[in-house]
């Protein structure tokens, strides 16, 4: 890719072959077989002040195959309930694409209105809310009994456009990243990098990274694992060295001085080629997003960002169980509450049934006891009568044996023995 100077003549540049497909079919290398078979979802969000080239970048990324600008502007109606021009809107566009048997549902979420107001203090808020709502929707599916096929609408990458001022980050940029970095993979890019010279880009990148470091903001960085092959390590280090990516977008084809037709921007002094790594970092950004790190971004979203959100939420639920405000805004807490009520009702019913049963048993027992006592009394009566009879008989027997006449009993009558 030759010289690192972006603005010098295009002659002598090695032509970078334009892929005629998007490139995610590389994924068998990245992705587990199961997700390849089932197909998978990838959602990217673009955030930045208007006019920084967000739409253009999306179209450049996906070679205009997915999101033509006309369709996009037709879809750009404000979502119901929001008034365009006063709030940050959220618009998304999905497309199912398939390459070499790999199915991908790609969604790009745009955030028009971000940073466009006189007071942008809360510009980040609707975006955080949207990202959290997507986490909640996923959590809700996970809690269902049938979780066979989860729809993953979580944001896997957030491309944040930095205005090419050449100075440093603006307070709005810092505020946004501070609020978002624990919720989404942040990928900061310098928009319209062709408006800066190479030296300016280098210095700007350094200042941006200093700011990010100073404010302890966690941006997405391709992890460099030691046990990977040298080529992969080198590739990842190369990508890492370009962060934040200096981007040039273009959806038009221009001719170069040496007569090639490339995607780029033509200037009186030469042509900037979008797909030339010597001209800008677009190729590296695309490589990371689509070719090499799509699965990494998805995994990090699921294992770290979503997991953090989920456990924070569970802790909050434990602490705030009695806060009705919390329940109102939190469907999972509300559900747990309803389940608890239902369980309480069930155990109350069970206790009542037990009580009734015990009562019946007791009644029966006391009835039995009474009849037992009656039986016993009757038995005793009969026994006493028998005992008396036996004693009298024995007395008679003794008299007869001794030859004496029977003594008259108390009533004066004489008993006779037959
Ligand atoms: P909204 O739709 O208002 O949110 O703006 P956006 O951020 O989507 O910007 P858009 O892609 O519509 O681009 C705005 C203008 O900037 C257009 O005229 C583009 O041609 C131009 N533009 C886009 N990318 C670049 C770039 O990399 N360099 C330069 N110099 N101009 C660009």
Q: What is the pLDDT of residue 227?
A: 75
Ligand 1 mean position to 9 CA, how many Å?
Answer: 24
Going by C-alpha positions, the residue among 6, 3, 17 that lies closest to residue 279 is 6
Mutate to test the pocket of ligand 1, among 47, 52, 285 (most ligand atoms within 8 A of CB): 52
Residue 147, pLDDT above cutoff 80: no
First-last CA distance in the chain: 144
Q: What number is the average pLDDT over the span 239-248?
A: 91
Higher pLDDT, 410 or 246: 246
Ligand 1 mean position to 68 CA, how many Å?
Answer: 14
Question: Cβ(72)–Cβ(93) under 8 Å?
Answer: yes
Q: What number is the average pLDDT over the span 386-399?
A: 94
Question: ipTM of this predicted complex?
Answer: 0.95
Strand order in the sheet with 40-47: 91-99, 102-110, 40-47, 157-162, 186-190, 245-246
Residue 26, pLDDT above cutoff 60: no
327 Cβ below 6 A of ligand 1? no
Higher pLDDT, 134 or 340: 134
Residue 18, pLDDT above cutoff 50: no
pTM of the entire structure? 0.67
Strands (E), 150-269: 157-162, 186-190, 245-246, 253-255, 261-267
When the pLDDT of each residue in the chain is averaged and rounded to a whole number, the result is 78
Mutate to test the pocket of ligand 1, among 249, 273, 282 (most ligand atoms within 8 A of CB): 249
* Spatial CB neighbours of 224, under 8 Å, sequence gap ≥ 6: 233, 236, 237, 240
Which two tokens mark 32?
Answer: 């587990």
Question: Cβ(113)–Cβ(85) under 8 Å?
Answer: yes
263 Cβ below 6 A of ligand 1? no
- Distances, alpha carbon 156 to alpha carbons 173, 284, 336, in Å: 19, 18, 28
Higher pLDDT, 417 or 123: 123
Encode pLDDT of 182-233 as tens digits: 999 999 999 999 999 999 999 999 999 999 999 999 999 877 777 778 888 8
54 Cβ below 6 A of ligand 1? yes
- The DSSP bridge partners found for residue 285 are none
Question: For ligand 1, what atom is nearest to the CA of residue 248?
Answer: 27
Mutate to test the pocket of ligand 1, among 6, 47, 49, 56 (most ligand atoms within 8 A of CB): 56
Q: Which of 110-124, 374-388, 394-408 has the highest mean pLDDT?
A: 374-388
Q: What's the pLDDT band for 338 if we cut at 50, 70, 90?
A: confident
52 Cβ below 6 A of ligand 1? yes
194 Cβ below 6 A of ligand 1? yes
* Spatial CB neighbours of 226, under 8 Å, sequence gap ≥ 6: 233
Which two tokens mark 34?
Answer: 């199961």
Phi, psi (rounded to 5 degrees) for 94: -115, 155
Region of poorest pLDDT, from 36-40, 99-103, 225-229: 36-40
248 Cβ below 6 A of ligand 1? yes
Encode pLDDT of 292-329 as tens digits: 888 889 999 999 999 999 988 888 776 554 455 455 55
CA distance 244 to 55: 19
Q: What is the pLDDT of residue 8?
A: 35
């Amino acid at each position: 890719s030759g010289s690192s100077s972006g603005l010098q003549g295009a002659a002598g540049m090695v032509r970078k072959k334009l892929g005629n497909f998007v490139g995610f079919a590389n994924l068998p290398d990245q992705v587990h077989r199961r997700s390849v078979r089932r197909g998978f979802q990838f959602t990217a969000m673009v955030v930045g002040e208007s006019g920084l080239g967000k739409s253009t970048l999306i179209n450049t990324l996906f070679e205009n195959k997915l999101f033509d600008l006309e369709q996009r502007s037709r879809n750009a109606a404000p979502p119901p309930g929001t008034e365009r021009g006063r709030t940050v809107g959220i618009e998304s566009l999905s497309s199912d694409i398939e390459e070499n048997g790999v199915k991908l549902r790609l969604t790009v979420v745009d955030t028009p209105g971000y940073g466009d107001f006189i007071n942008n203090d809360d510009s980040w808020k609707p975006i955080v809310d949207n990202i959290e709502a997507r986490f909640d929707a996923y959590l809700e599916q996970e809690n269902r009994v049938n979780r066979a096929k989860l729809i993953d609408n979580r944001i896997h990458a957030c491309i944040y456009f930095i205005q090419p001022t050449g100075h440093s980050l603006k307070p709005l940029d810092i505020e946004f990243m501070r609020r978002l970095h624990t919720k989404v993979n942040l990928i900061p890019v310098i928009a319209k990098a062709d408006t800066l010279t190479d030296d300016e880009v280098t210095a700007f990148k350094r200042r941006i990274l200093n700011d990010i470091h100073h404010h302890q903001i966690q941006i997405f960085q391709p992890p460099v694992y030691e046990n990977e092959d040298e080529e992969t390590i080198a590739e990842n280090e190369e990508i890492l060295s370009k962060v934040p990516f200096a981007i040039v977008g273009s959806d038009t084809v221009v001719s170069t001085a040496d007569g090639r037709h490339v995607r780029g921007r033509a200037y009186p002094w030469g042509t900037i080629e979008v797909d030339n790594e010597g001209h800008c970092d677009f190729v590296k950004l695309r490589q990371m997003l689509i070719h090499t790190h799509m699965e990494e971004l998805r995994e990090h979203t699921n294992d770290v960002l979503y997991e953090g959100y989920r456990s924070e939420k569970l802790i909050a639920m434990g602490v705030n169980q009695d806060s009705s405000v919390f329940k109102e805004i939190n469907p999972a807490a509300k559900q747990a509450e309803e389940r608890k009520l239902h369980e309480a009702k069930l155990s109350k019913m069970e206790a009542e049934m037990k009580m009734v049963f015990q009562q019946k048993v007791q009644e029966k027992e006391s009835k039995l006891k009474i009849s037992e006592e009656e039986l016993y009394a009757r038995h005793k009566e009969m026994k006493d009568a028998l005992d008396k009879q036996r004693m009298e008989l024995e007395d008679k027997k003794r008299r007869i044996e001794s030859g004496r006449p029977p003594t008259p009993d108390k009533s004066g009558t004489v008993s006779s023995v037959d």
